[in-house]
Amino acid sequence: MSRIPSPTYYRNHLSPAPEKGQRLPLLVSVPHGGYSIPLDILPRIDLEFKDIFPDSDPCTRTIYSFADEVLSFHESDIARAVIDLNRTDDDLPPLNADGVIKSHTVMGKKVYRSECAPNSRLVEELLERYYYPYHHNIALDLDDPGLLCGIDCHSMLEFPPGPQETGTRPFICLSNGGDENGDGDDDELSCPAELLNLLADCLCRVFPEEADSILLNEPFKGGHVSRYHSRTLPWLQIELNRRAYLHPPWFDPATLRVDNGRLNTLRQKILEALTVFCDEALMRQPLHDIESSRYPNRPAEPFFSFP
């Protein structure tokens, strides 16, 4: 069964476009913005703040701080080096050093002191304490009939950290699991291509100088949050290049201080894009005239059950 609602879903089952002062019909997730290390595992950790800072998505809890502007907002203050909420719960080292529990940071630094890596019991405790509650709380909000979609919010390193990826990364990457146009098999997409392209267009309007560097599914196709929860609601993932704020004149790498004015500017521009995105998505009847042949497994009914 398709995971993507039919076009009439947007026309018949969502609230009208939001008036000024009302919350946007979005569920926003910011899973990697925290820097905190739980006190009970702190003695095990072989990292300093200068290691935790780039391994997290720095400043995303400020850039995407839309708790007062959207219907549902979820964030975590726990460092990604401790537990990665955007991985499956069985994605573990040694098969993946950058899994839900990590042996190394994205920059290759060992997370734990010698002989202090979590055993299976501690792994389960960390999952129960931080991972499952985060996803459970998101799931509780997904049935809100006023939601248009979920957006999982991230930042990315300016340059790839390893040899598996080359070249300069874009200013913004939007993902739905599809190709460079947002297209793909409907059982692989986390949202329709039309929705992804609409958000890209809105971001191009507020960042016109970066319009040629706002790409779809390149270099990322989306993570666990957007894939898993798209069984119930359309989801997109956004990755903002850190050159937008962790770069002179806004950033001092020696002190890790970031210009708050720059962060607020980015926040306001992204919020402006999201506001226009929601307004235009909900005013379209439907988003686009999507032919059923493009998604042959999509049911005709506007509402249906997901497995």
Residue 17: its pLDDT value, please? 44
Query: DSSP of 118-173, one letter per residue?
Result: --HHHHHHHIIIIIHHHHHHHHHHTT-TT--EEEEEEEE-SS-SSTTS-SPPPSEE
Contact residues for 24 (Cβ-Cβ < 8 A; gap 6+): 18, 66, 69, 70, 71, 274, 275, 278
Higher-pLDDT residue of 209, 187: 209
Is 247 within 8 Å of 159 (Cβ atoms)?
no
Q: Is the per-residue pLDDT at 3 higher than 70?
A: no
pLDDT(2) > 80: no
pLDDT of residue 164: 66
pLDDT classification of 285: cutoffs 50, 70, 90: very low
What does the alpha-carbon distance between residue 28 and residue 152 come to, in Å, rounded to a whole number?
6
**Residue 20 pLDDT:** 45
- Is the pLDDT reported for residue 13 higher than 70? no
Structure confidence at residue 173 (pLDDT): 97
Q: At 163, is the pLDDT very low, low, confident or very high (cuts 50, 70, 90)?
A: low
What is the mean predicted confidence (pLDDT) over 120-145?
A: 95
Q: pLDDT digits over 48-79, tens only?
A: 999 999 999 999 999 999 999 999 999 999 99
Identify the band that residue 160 occupies on the pLDDT scale cut at 50, 70 and 90: confident
Q: To the nearest whole number, what is the mean pLDDT of the chain?
A: 86
Q: Which domains does the chain have, with CATH numbers?
A: 8-294 (3.40.630.40)
In one-letter notation, the amino acid at residue 80 is: R
By the 8 A CB rule, do 217 and 188 touch?
Answer: no
pTM: 0.85
CB atoms within 10 A of CB 119: 9
pLDDT value at position 14? 45
pLDDT in tens, 212-268: 999 999 999 999 999 999 999 999 999 999 999 999 999 999 999 999 999 999 999
pLDDT, residue 63, reads 98
Segment 104-109 mean pLDDT: 92
Q: What is the pLDDT of residue 22?
A: 86
pLDDT band at residue 271, thresholds of 50, 70 and 90?
A: very high
